[in-house]
Amino acid sequence: MTKRLWLNRLLSLLFGSAFVYAGVVKAMHPMTFLDDIRTFQLLPDPYAAWLAMFLPWLEIFAGLAVITGLLRAGGLLVLNGLLLVFLGVITLSWYRGLDIRCGCFGDSGDTSPYLELYLRDGLLLVLGAVLIFLFNQRSRSHA
């Protein structure tokens, strides 16, 4: 195998695993995740509850798609789109002066520092963009 293919697999494993882990943690504790969603003050119930039940499974299945290669393009599209939404929601919450609890990787109990959220989601977005680039390069070379 080429170095590029190994790099692609390693980055896919890292990126997908982050979302599978985050989704599993949220799915195991849906009420905690619902409380975290409510700190953003964007969705009233029952919509916040629906999001708390749906989002973890979307992250799990999209992460598995990236890891396994089955529907990888779709998984990358979903996860990168989610990261853009997350960054937008974080920015809106910061602008509104809210003390939020992200709940992305489990219950932190405390409010989430905005700089930490931006750095983490920004790095994940860069990784996701690199994977899209590598996927597109590979697709073109096989065409």
Q: What are the pLDDT digits (tens) for 17-53?
A: 999 999 999 999 999 999 999 999 999 999 999 999 9
H-type alpha helices, the chain: 3-28, 30-38, 47-68, 72-96, 114-142
Residue matched to tokens 């963009």: 129
Is position 143 within any domain?
no
Does the CA dihedral 8-89-64-24 come out positive or negative?
Answer: positive
Range of the domain at 11: 3-138
Confidence of residue 2 (pLDDT cuts 50, 70, 90): confident
Angle formed at CA 58 by CA 53 and CA 60, multiple of 5 degrees: 105
Q: Which residues pair with 104 in a beta bridge?
A: 106
Instruction: Please count the structural domains in the chain.
Output: 1
Is position 33 within any domain?
yes
Is position 122 within any domain?
yes
Q: Is 119 exposed, middle or buried (0-12, 13-18, 19+ CB in 10 A)?
A: exposed
End-to-end distance of the chain based on CA atoms, in angstroms?
Answer: 19
Is position 63 within any domain?
yes
Confidence of residue 107 (pLDDT cuts 50, 70, 90): low
